[in-house]
């Protein structure tokens, strides 16, 4: 029947085209399929039913009856099933290619239609690229090749070239399986050992690779972490002096320390107390630097429009809490000294801390 | 501030070319329609418009204050006075609703062409205003102008195909996509097209970069924030969201929800229609939800952030001068403040000094009780309520888990417009406000 040679891309395309009914003459491979005797369309179904009946159901029994089957058991049973199926499929293998074209005897579209018929008959899906390709291949070499085909061909036919051998061998397995579940299991164990070796070999290669990767990554991160501790740190000192108290008249917001230190020195009143305090120039919403608007007597953030009163309390925009204060004190020489290493937050009640202000 | 000779001389050349382009565009359109026959009336209309544009172009090239076509000052000041975030957002919402409801009218080619012309002419007239031109012609903002026109075009294109398909489906015909489902090969058709597009875009970007170079500014400083300080244009929607929420929500949760919501879509969508072809009628819910999220909550916010947010993130009308001294009287209040102080007329519950952590936590919970109850009801009571009323069909089709995911995604998406409107109307700052642990909602 169909020749066994692999189809070229051109042939597949040609087959697909002819399936659309627009292409020219069908190539040799699909033709071979058509040449086979057109059988009754009904043949296909009984064949499938027969397959189902021939399926070695008992293979599953021993597992269900006893304790939980081991992986080896399951593998062995699966294999036995496959062989039994193969044997059963040996017969339909001959009938199928004949049956398939018969489902749609219109010879103008010989290649794809069988598959379409097979697929559509069972699943009702439309013909897709996969099934067209499958049909093209089916013309050359019968066998389940696409998803659409699969439901109607439950059993693979691995060795259809030697049906005689298969017929002799598998029945023994099928017959003995229910009563002697151990025998095929042993067979499976052997096979598993061989694969197990492969797994270990592959697995260990992966293990070596990932271990090497982990070690390299770890060393690299350590190397990066070194950069967190530079030899020289160019930062302004966290403590600095801003002059004497009388440089800050009542109501004044001193902005000249913003560029270097990021701090406003304010002489204002907070809850009725006249204080000098140092406000951190970081918006409590997302960290932009607000600007002091003298005319409106407020700090206003350019990023999202948060506004703060002169005492640092938020009143407009999305800022959720007041600006923070830095520690401030009168140094021994009478100058005001700001310590940026310590901050005070109003919502935590820290503005009551005498370190956070200097009374005027 | 006001149109002066220097500004007009700068902008006159551009406007002359601009109006000439519109004229040429309409001339070509008229020519095509004329050749087609049967559309002679429209051909004449566009020819007339082209002539009018040529007149405008020559007027603009005169560069004298009285001659350059511009919007009357009264119209401009009226627009400035009317514009505000509330009107803007509700206006875009209403505009999109109108476009949606009357989509079969707006997708007509001649109507769309007329709208395009109107947009272009309106922009040209506005461009004669110094303040408008200063914002629109800023190199950073030019892409947003392009975005407005490109988005309008592509939305129109898709809507048109959907309207045509809906009409065909209603008449029992196959969709356009099904009727001409001609396929092309990836290689060479698609790959060559992509290659050509790639080269063309590259060339375009090079020319753009040469003629509208990126501005060089002073070195960055952590204590100096430009005013206004704007995110890259594609994040301006996020920046606008941040005005209404705490960073953890607007900057982390909501953007992640956008991503996760888009990822969840295939699992939530049970509607098998509209697969492989444009259709609005068959997937109204999905379409409206997406367009609302994309247009109202993303694109219009980008446009708002680009053109209408000025120094100190204040709202400015399109023809207003961006002064950093604009005073907007805002005094935002948290919900607990509203509830305890304004409504019940008693001070906020506050733990006595020196109370233990647990007692303080209890007082905080008591203080935030109204907000917590509101949010709890919104996120826990509303989904079941919707399931038995509006979303009954959805609940039946989706099942409990998928329905809850969908309902919560919807409700969280809606927190943004709800919060925006509450901010504008009630000056509500936060519904839940626990600054002690930086948790605000």
Mean pLDDT of chain B: 90
Tens digit of each residue's pLDDT (9 = 90 or more) over B42-52: 999 999 999 99
Residue B363, CB half-sphere, CA atoms under 13 Å: how many? 15
Beta partners for A344? A325
CB B166 within 8 A of CB B282: yes
A20 interfacial to chain B (CB closer than 8 Å): no
Beta strand A298-300 with A358-359 is unpaired
CB A350 within 8 A of CB A356: yes
Measure the CA–CA gap between A43 and A231, rounded to whole angstroms: 87
Question: Is the Cβ pair B227, A291 closer than 8 Å?
Answer: yes
Task: Kindly write down the DSSP assignment for every residue of B337-362, as one continuous string.
Answer: IIIIIIIS-SPPP-PPTT--HHHHHH
Task: Please indicate, yes or no, if residue B435 is contained in any of the structural domains.
Answer: yes
Beta partners for A279? A264, A325
Q: Is the pLDDT of residue B81 over 60?
A: yes
Residues B77, B63 share a domain: no
CB A29 within 8 A of CB A148: no
Measure the CA–CA gap between A138 and A143, rounded to whole angstroms: 6
Give the count of beta carbons closer than 10 Å to the beta carbon of residue B387: 18
State the fold for domain A239-359: Rieske Iron-sulfur Protein (2.102.10)
Beta partners for B296? none
Burial class from Cβ neighbours inside 10 Å (0-12, 13-18, 19+) for residue A192 reads middle
Residues B187, B49 share a domain: no
- Higher per-residue pLDDT: A11 or A276: A276
Residues 6+ positions from B392 with CB-CB distance below 8 Å: none
Residue B420, CB half-sphere, CA atoms under 13 Å: how many? 20
Residues B170, B234 share a domain: yes
Measure the CA–CA gap between B184 and A133, rounded to whole angstroms: 18
Question: Is the Cβ pair B244, A300 closer than 8 Å?
Answer: no
The tokens describing A324, both together, are 């923070």
A320 interfacial to chain B (CB closer than 8 Å): yes
Residues B271, B352 share a domain: no
SS3 B175: coil
| Minimal C-alpha gap between B322 and chain A (Å) | 13
Q: Based on the structure, what is the number of domains in chain B?
A: 3
Residue ranges per domain, chain A?
A: 9-180, 191-230, 239-359
DSSP state of A246: G
Angle between helices B109-127 and B5-36 (to 10 degrees): 170
Measure the CA–CA gap between A360 and A268, rounded to whole angstroms: 9
* Structure confidence at residue A77 (pLDDT): 73
Q: At residue B2, what are phi and psi to the nearest 5 degrees?
A: -105, 155
* Structure confidence at residue A99 (pLDDT): 43
The tokens describing B241, both together, are 């969201």
Chain A environment of B245 (Cβ under 8 Å): 318
Q: Give the nearest partner residue to A303 out of B225, B330, B429, using CB atoms.
A: B225
Q: Chain A interface, mutation test: which of B183, B276, B304, B313, most A Cβ atoms within 10 Å?
A: B313
Arithmetic mean of pLDDT, A165-180: 46
Residues B279, B177 share a domain: yes
Task: Kindly write down the DSSP assignment for every residue of B191-246, as one continuous string.
Answer: HHHHHHHHHHHHHHHHHHHHHSPPPP-PPPBTTB--SS----GGGHHHHHHHTTS-
SS3 A58: helix
Question: Is the Cβ pair A347, B435 closer than 8 Å?
Answer: yes
Residues B208, B128 share a domain: yes
Query: CA B230 from chain center: how many Å?
Result: 16
Residues 6+ positions from B224 with CB-CB distance below 8 Å: A259, A289, B218
Q: Tally A–B CB contacts below 8 A.
A: 84
B224 interfacial to chain A (CB closer than 8 Å): yes
DSSP state of B333: B
Q: Which of B44, B69, B94 is the last residue of a domain?
A: B69
Residues B436, B407 share a domain: yes
Q: Which of residues 56-95 of A touch B (CB under 8 A)?
A: none
Arithmetic mean of pLDDT, B329-339: 85
Q: Which of B79-88, B189-198, B208-217 has the highest mean pLDDT?
A: B189-198
pTM comes to 0.68
DSSP state of B435: G
| Minimal C-alpha gap between B382 and chain A (Å) | 27
| pLDDT band per the 50, 70, 90 thresholds, residue A26 | very low
Residues B177, B135 share a domain: yes
Query: CA A319 from chain center: how many Å?
Result: 38
Chain A environment of B224 (Cβ under 8 Å): 259, 289
Cα angle for residues A341, A347, A351 (degrees, 5° grid):
55
Sign of the alpha-carbon torsion through B215, B216, B218, B221: positive
Measure the CA–CA gap between A18 and A247, rounded to whole angstroms: 96
Task: Kindly write down the DSSP assignment for every residue of B35-80, as one continuous string.
Answer: HHSS-HHHHHHHHHHHHHHHHHHHHHHH--TTTS----HHHHHHHH
Chain B environment of A289 (Cβ under 8 Å): 222-225
The tokens describing B303, both together, are 């446009």
* Structure confidence at residue A348 (pLDDT): 86
Measure the CA–CA gap between B415 and B94, rounded to whole angstroms: 19
Arithmetic mean of pLDDT, B408-413: 93
Measure the CA–CA gap between B23 and B54, rounded to whole angstroms: 6
Arithmetic mean of pLDDT, A198-205: 73
Q: Which of B35, B69, B103 is the last residue of a domain?
A: B69
Measure the CA–CA gap between B33 and B113, rounded to whole angstroms: 12
The tokens describing B99, both together, are 């476009």
Count of positions (residues) in chain A: 360
Q: Give the nearest partner residue to B312 out of A258, A305, A348, using CB atoms.
A: A305
Mean pLDDT of chain A: 68
Q: What strand order describes the sheet that includes A307-308?
A: A291-293, A298-300, A307-308, A314-316
Q: Is the pLDDT of residue A7 over 90?
A: no
Residues B238, B250 share a domain: yes
| pLDDT band per the 50, 70, 90 thresholds, residue A198 | low
Least confident of A83-97, A275-289, B152-166: A83-97
Task: Please indicate, yes or no, if residue B326 is contained in any of the structural domains.
Answer: no
Q: Chain B interface, mutation test: which of A318, A345, A349, A353, most B Cβ atoms within 10 Å?
A: A318
Q: Which of residues 242-281 of A touch B (CB under 8 A)?
A: 258-259, 262, 281
Residues 6+ positions from B52 with CB-CB distance below 8 Å: none
Q: Chain A interface, mutation test: which of B182, B222, B223, B348, most A Cβ atoms within 10 Å?
A: B223
Tens digit of each residue's pLDDT (9 = 90 or more) over A257-269: 998 888 999 999 8
Burial class from Cβ neighbours inside 10 Å (0-12, 13-18, 19+) for residue B291 reads middle
Q: Give the nearest partner residue to B435 out of A281, A315, A320, using CB atoms.
A: A320
Give the count of beta carbons closer than 10 Å to the beta carbon of residue A259: 12
Task: Please indicate, yes or no, if residue B206 is contained in any of the structural domains.
Answer: yes
Measure the CA–CA gap between B338 and B315, rounded to whole angstroms: 25
* Structure confidence at residue A5 (pLDDT): 55
Question: Is the Cβ pair A301, B436 closer than 8 Å?
Answer: no
Q: Is the pLDDT of residue A56 over 70?
A: no
| Minimal C-alpha gap between A230 and chain B (Å) | 20
A31 interfacial to chain B (CB closer than 8 Å): no
Residue of B nearest to A352 (CA): B353
Cα dist from B262 to A221, A284, B151, whole Å:
34, 32, 20
Measure the CA–CA gap between B156 and B392, rounded to whole angstroms: 33
Q: Is the pLDDT of residue A66 over 60?
A: no
Residues B405, B357 share a domain: yes
Domain that holds residue B166: 73-215+230-313
Arithmetic mean of pLDDT, A201-210: 80
Chain A environment of B223 (Cβ under 8 Å): 258-259, 262, 281, 289
| Minimal C-alpha gap between B117 and chain A (Å) | 35
Measure the CA–CA gap between B360 and B367, rounded to whole angstroms: 10
Chain B environment of A304 (Cβ under 8 Å): 239, 242-243, 313
First-to-last alpha carbon distance for chain B, in angstroms, is: 40
Residues B62, B82 share a domain: no
Tens digit of each residue's pLDDT (9 = 90 or more) over A70-118: 677 777 776 776 555 544 444 444 444 444 444 444 444 444 444 444 4
Measure the CA–CA gap between B188 and B420, rounded to whole angstroms: 50
Measure the CA–CA gap between A250 and A246, rounded to whole angstroms: 9
Asked if ipTM goes beyond 0.85, one says no
Q: Give the nearest partner residue to A302 out of B311, B435, B438, using CB atoms.
A: B311
Segment (H or E) for A184:
helix A182-226
Beta partners for A240? A338
Chain B environment of A296 (Cβ under 8 Å): 325, 327
Segment (H or E) for B99:
helix B85-101
Residues B346, B261 share a domain: no
Measure the CA–CA gap between B93 and B416, rounded to whole angstroms: 14
Q: Is the pLDDT of residue B154 over 90?
A: yes
Give the count of beta carbons closer than 10 Å to the beta carbon of residue B202: 10
Measure the CA–CA gap between B72 and B66, rounded to whole angstroms: 11
SS3 A276: strand
Measure the CA–CA gap between B406 and B391, rounded to whole angstroms: 10
Cα dist from A149 to A103, A131, B77, whole Å:
14, 7, 73
| Minimal C-alpha gap between B84 and chain A (Å) | 15
Measure the CA–CA gap between B217 and B226, rounded to whole angstroms: 10
Locus of tokens 């070796």: A197
Arithmetic mean of pLDDT, B298-324: 91
A348 interfacial to chain B (CB closer than 8 Å): yes
Q: Give the nearest partner residue to B223 out of A258, A295, A305, using CB atoms.
A: A258
Least confident of A58-67, A198-207, B239-248, B370-379: A58-67
* Structure confidence at residue B214 (pLDDT): 81
% of residues, chain B, pLDDT over 70: 99
Q: Which of A155-159, A180-184, B272-276 has the highest mean pLDDT?
A: B272-276
């Amino acid at each position: 029947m169909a020749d066994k040679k692999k189809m070229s891309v051109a042939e597949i395309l040609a087959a697909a085209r002819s399936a659309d009914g627009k292409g020219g003459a069908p190539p040799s491979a699909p033709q071979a399929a058509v040449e086979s005797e057109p059988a009754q369309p009904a043949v296909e179904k009984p064949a499938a039913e027969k397959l189902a009946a021939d399926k070695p159901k008992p293979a599953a029994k021993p597992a269900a009856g006893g304790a939980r089957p081991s992986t080896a058991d399951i593998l062995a049973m699966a294999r036995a099933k496959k062989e039994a199926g193969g044997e059963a499929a040996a017969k339909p293998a001959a009938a199928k290619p004949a049956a398939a074209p018969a489902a749609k005897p219109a010879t103008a579209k010989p290649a794809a239609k069988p598959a379409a018929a097979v697929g559509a008959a069972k699943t009702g899906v439309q013909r897709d690229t996969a099934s067209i390709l499958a049909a093209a291949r089916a013309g050359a070499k019968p066998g389940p090749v696409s998803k659409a085909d699969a439901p109607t061909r439950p059993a693979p036919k691995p060795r259809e070239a030697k049906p005689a051998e298969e017929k002799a061998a598998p029945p023994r397995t099928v017959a003995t399986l229910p009563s002697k579940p151990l025998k095929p299991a042993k067979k499976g164990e052997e096979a598993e050992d061989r694969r197990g070796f492969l797994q270990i070999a592959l697995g260990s290669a992966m293990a070596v690779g990932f271990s090497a990767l982990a070690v390299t990554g770890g060393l690299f991160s350590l190397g990066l972490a070194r950069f967190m501790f530079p030899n020289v740190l160019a930062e302004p000192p966290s403590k600095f002096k801003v002059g004497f108290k009388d440089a800050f008249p009542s109501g004044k917001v001193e902005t000249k320390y913003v560029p270097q230190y990021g701090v406003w020195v304010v002489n204002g009143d907070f809850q009725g107390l006249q204080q000098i305090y140092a406000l951190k120039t970081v918006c409590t919403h997302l960290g932009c630097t607000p600007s002091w608007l003298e005319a409106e007597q407020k700090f206003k953030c350019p990023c999202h429009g948060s506004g703060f009163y002169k005492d640092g309390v938020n009143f407009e925009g999305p800022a959720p809490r007041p600006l923070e204060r830095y520690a401030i004190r009168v140094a021994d020489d009478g100058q005001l000294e700001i310590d940026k290493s310590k901050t005070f937050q109003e919502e935590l009640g820290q503005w009551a801390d005498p370190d956070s202000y200097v009374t005027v | 501030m006001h149109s002066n000779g220097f500004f007009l001389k700068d902008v006159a050349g551009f406007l002359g070319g601009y109006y000439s382009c519109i004229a040429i565009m309409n001339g070509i359109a008229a020519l095509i329609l004329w050749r087609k026959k049967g559309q002679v009336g429209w051909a004449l209309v566009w020819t007339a418009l082209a002539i009018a544009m040529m007149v405008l172009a020559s007027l603009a090239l005169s560069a004298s204050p009285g001659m350059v076509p511009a919007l009357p000052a009264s119209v401009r000041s009226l627009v400035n006075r009317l514009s505000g975030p509330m009107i803007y957002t509700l206006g875009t919402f209403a505009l999109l609703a109108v476009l949606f409801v009357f989509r079969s009218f707006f997708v007509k080619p001649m109507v769309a062409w007329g709208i395009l012309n109107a947009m272009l002419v309106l922009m040209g007239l506005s461009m004669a205003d110094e303040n408008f031109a200063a914002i629109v012609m800023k190199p950073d903002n030019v892409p947003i102008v392009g975005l407005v026109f490109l988005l309008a075009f592509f939305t129109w294109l898709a809507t048109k195909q959907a309207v045509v398909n809906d009409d065909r489906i209603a008449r029992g015909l196959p969709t356009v996509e099904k009727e001409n489902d001609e396929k092309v090969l990836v290689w060479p058709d698609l790959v060559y097209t992509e290659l050509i597009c790639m080269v063309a875009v590259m060339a375009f970007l090079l020319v753009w970069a040469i003629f509208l170079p990126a501005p060089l500014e002073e070195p960055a400083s952590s204590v100096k924030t430009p005013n206004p300080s704007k995110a890259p244009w594609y994040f301006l929607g996020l920046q606008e969201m941040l005005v209404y929420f705490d960073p953890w929500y607007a900057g982390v949760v909501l953007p992640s929800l956008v991503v996760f919501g888009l990822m969840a879509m295939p699992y939530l969508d049970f509607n098998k229609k509209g697969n492989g072809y444009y259709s609005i009628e068959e997937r109204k819910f999905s379409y409206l939800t997406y367009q609302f999220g994309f247009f109202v909550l993303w694109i219009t916010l980008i446009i708002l952030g680009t053109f209408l947010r000025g120094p100190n993130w204040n709202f400015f009308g399109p023809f207003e001068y961006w002064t950093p001294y604009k005073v907007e009287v805002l005094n935002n209040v948290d919900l607990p403040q509203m509830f305890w102080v304004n409504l019940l007329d008693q001070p906020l519950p506050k733990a006595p000094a020196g109370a233990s952590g647990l007692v303080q936590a209890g007082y905080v919970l008591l203080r935030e009780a109204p907000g917590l109850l509101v949010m709890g009801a919104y996120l826990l009571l509303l989904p079941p309520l919707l399931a038995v009323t509006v979303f009954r069909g959805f609940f039946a089709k989706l099942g409990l888990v998928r329905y809850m995911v969908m309902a919560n995604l919807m409700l969280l998406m809606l927190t943004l417009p709800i919060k925006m409107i509450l901010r504008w109307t009630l000056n509500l700052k936060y519904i839940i406000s626990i600054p002690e642990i930086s948790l605000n909602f």
